[in-house]
Amino acid sequence: MNVIETTGLTKYYGEVRGVEDLSLSVGKGEVFGFLGPNGAGKTTTIRTLMGFQSPTEGTATVLGADITDAAALRDARGRIGYLPSEPGFDENVTGRRLLEYHGSLRGDVRSEELLELFDPPLDRKVGQYSRGNKQMLAIVMAFMHDPDLVVMDEPTSGLDPLKQDQFLEFIRAEQERGKTFFFSSHILSEVRKVCDRIGIIRNGHLVELENVESLLDRTGKVVRANVGGAVTAEEFAIEGAHDVTVSGESAEGAAPVTTESDGGGEDSTTVSFTYTGPYQPLLRHLLNYDLLELAIEEAPLEDIFMRFYGDHDAEAVVERVENGRTDGHDGHEETDSRNAEAADV
């Protein structure tokens, strides 16, 4: 029996679509990545699965309990851990008191062990906690009763990078102990580290379900190279390269622009493109040039969506690719805050 099974799950907030016709299943012991930009319907799905809200249409079972059967779902929650991105706590009590309270509600078999890995200042009031400390407290609460299934909504937000890695490693270890995870995220790189299988949700619809490796193969890398001398986009029309841009100009644009580099006054050109293919031919090709700088990064989730499902308008592609390059992760954050409100519904 699948741990999570949804059939045509639909949730509308009045006229506003939260998620539509979502059908997926998560098997026992699986780490399922539920991927999508903010506002796509991830939180809606999770809140519906947890029973915080009832579906408009469709059905779902969690650990065998029908989500519309309040009593069955209540019992099932005794075996579910829930980890939201911004956990809400009573702020005028200490972390210790809160752990005691929630431990008494769901059972506490391993908080001591967990507190060695995730160590919020327990004797301080939760109101004084940093975001990271709150998140660590939430992690301890989500796992303290040793649940069979853990439902996580962007669980690493608020954790510093070191704790993020520690947490992802912890998930891998828990998976080996037979736990099932439903892991929502908008960051592909963290999902690929732990997830066996991922589903992508966009505008409330599930649009892609496949294993991580094949997704990564199809997504490709973002390559940016700074080379000496003048280069044309045509020279980089090698197999697996897409959307080649030269010095900020699109491939279809006018003659490539060369710029004076600060160093020896030598001319250099920046070439960037998305690359889906093995490394060797790419590197061999690059070595034909006077390679000054090279960056190979994972494509942002927004670009993946664009490549698979959407706009092939050249200008938009160029703009998106450029932003993805120059702003790097910051571009992500902007998208986040823009969509944050929509994600809360």
Partner 1 sequence: MFETARFESRQRLTGSTVVALGLSAFAAMMVLIAPGLLDEFDVEALTETFPPALVEAMQLDVIGTIEGFIALELYWFGWLLLLAIYVAYSAASAIAGDVDDGTMDTLLAAPVSRWQVLGEKFLSLLTPILVVNVVVLVVVYAGTQFVDEPIAAADLVAVHALSIPYLLLWGAFGMLASVLAPRRVVAEGVAAGAVVATFLVETVADGTDLDWLGVVSPTRYYDPVTILTASEYDYTGAATLLVAAAVLLLASAVLFARRDVR
Q: How far is the CB of 63 from partner 1 (least distance, A)?
A: 11
Q: How far is the CB of 341 from partner 1 (least distance, A)?
A: 13
Which of 9, 49, 80, 201 is the binder for partner 1 (CB under 8 A)?
A: 80
Question: Tokens representing 66?
Answer: 């029908």
**Choices 19-27, 86-94, 156-164, 278-286 (CB under 8 A): range interacting with partner 1:** 86-94
By CB under 8 A, residue 42 contacts partner 1: no
Q: Where are the beta strands (DSSP E) in the chain?
A: 4-13, 16-26, 31-35, 57-62, 65-66, 80-83, 149-153, 180-185, 197-202, 205-211, 221-228, 241-246, 249-250, 259-260, 267-275, 291-298
Tell me the sheet residues that pair with 19.
11
By CB under 8 A, residue 58 contacts partner 1: no
By CB under 8 A, residue 15 contacts partner 1: no
Q: How far is the CB of 342 from partner 1 (least distance, A)?
A: 13
Give the nearer residue to partner 1 in terms of CB position, either 50 or 222: 50
By CB under 8 A, residue 47 contacts partner 1: yes
Question: Tokens representing 32?
Answer: 């399922």
Which of 57, 75, 290, 341 is the binder for partner 1 (CB under 8 A)?
A: 75
By CB under 8 A, residue 214 contacts partner 1: no
Q: How far is the CB of 133 from partner 1 (least distance, A)?
A: 15
**Choices 43-51, 154-162, 186-194, 208-216 (CB under 8 A): range interacting with partner 1:** 43-51
Which of 60, 67, 106, 303 is the binder for partner 1 (CB under 8 A)?
A: 106
Spatial separation of the C-alpha atoms in residues 158 and 329, rounded to whole Å: 15
Question: Tokens representing 333?
Answer: 């954050």
By CB under 8 A, residue 102 contacts partner 1: yes
Going from the C-alpha of 206 to that of each of 20, 42, 201, 301, the distances in angstroms are: 8, 10, 4, 15
By CB under 8 A, residue 84 contacts partner 1: yes
Site for partner 1 in 121-150 (CB under 8 A): 138, 141
Contact present, 96 and 123 (Cβ < 8 Å): yes
By CB under 8 A, residue 93 contacts partner 1: yes
By CB under 8 A, residue 105 contacts partner 1: yes
Q: How far is the CB of 47 from partner 1 (least distance, A)?
A: 7
Which of 92, 214, 280, 288 is the binder for partner 1 (CB under 8 A)?
A: 92
Spatial separation of the C-alpha atoms in residues 61 and 7, rounded to whole Å: 9
Contact present, 321 and 272 (Cβ < 8 Å): yes
Question: Tokens representing 315?
Answer: 């200008």
Q: How far is the CB of 186 from partner 1 (least distance, A)?
A: 20
Pairing of strands 259-260, 267-275: antiparallel
Please work out the total of residues on this chain that contact partner 1, with binding judged by CB under 8 A.
33
Q: Write a three-state SS string for 188-246.
A: HHHHHHHCCEEEEEECCEEEEEEEHHHHHHHHCEEEEEEEECCCCHHHHCCCCEEEEEE
**Residue ranges binding partner 1 (CB under 8 A):** 13, 47, 50-54, 70-71, 74-78, 80-82, 84, 86-90, 92-93, 101-102, 104-106, 138, 141, 345
